[in-house]
Structure 1
Amino acid sequence: MSTLAFQPLFAFFGLGTQEIMLLLVLGVLLFGRNLPSLGRSLGKTVTEFKKGVKGLEDDMEPTTSRTIEPEPVRPPQRVTSTAPKFEDSPPPKV
């Protein structure tokens, strides 16, 4: 691999190819037998983190299926009052 392949990835830390190789060798020496389990737990951690971030993004973005559309505005309608018609009735007998 060339130096350019590592350069953009680790430019933030200022690490070169030799420093990365040294860290890999130290990692193998220190965690030799535990590397598979460390890799598994790191993979699970990253997966759970991505799921959590995805869940937050889904909660933040409005979706069209969940939006409630308001009823269209209708112009005011004329109220026709139909007043009750009173017929002349004879006065009550007392």
Structure 2
Amino acid sequence: MFQNIGVPGLVIILIIALVIFGPKKLPEIGRAFGRTLSEFKSATKGLVDEDKEEEKKTELTTVGKDQDKSAVS
């Protein structure tokens, strides 16, 4: 969807945003957008970390079961 914007498109979008929101409100919007992105990034990282921990636990239990089976044989 946004693959073909390019630099001229971004400049036009910024000019339109400046006209709509004004020079006083635009920095506040930018900060809020930045905070939102950083929170999203940290939440996503937390989910990925939980997934990796779950995979490690699954591997450990699988390896433990395999060792138990070989010890019984």
Query: Shared fold by TM > 0.5?
Result: yes
Cα deviation for residue 18 of structure 1 reads 2.7
Computed over aligned residues only, the root mean square deviation of the Cα atoms, in angstroms, reads: 2.5
Q: Which has the higher contact order (CA 8 A, sep 6+)?
A: 2
CA positional deviation for 1:75: 4.7
1:16 deviation in Å? 3.7
Q: How many residues align?
A: 63
Unpaired runs of at least 5, structure 1: 1-9, 77-94
Name the structure with the higher helix share: 2
Work out the percentage of aligned pairs sharing the same amino acid: 29
Provide the TM-score with structure 1 as the length reference: 0.51
Q: Which has the larger radius of gyration?
A: 1
Aligned residue identity for 1:70: G
Structure 1 residues 61, 35: closer, same or farther in 2, change over 3 A? Answer: same
Matching residue's letter, 1:48: E
1-structure distance, mates of 2:6, 2:42: 32
Alignment gaps of 5+ in structure 2 = none
Letter in 1 for 2:52: E
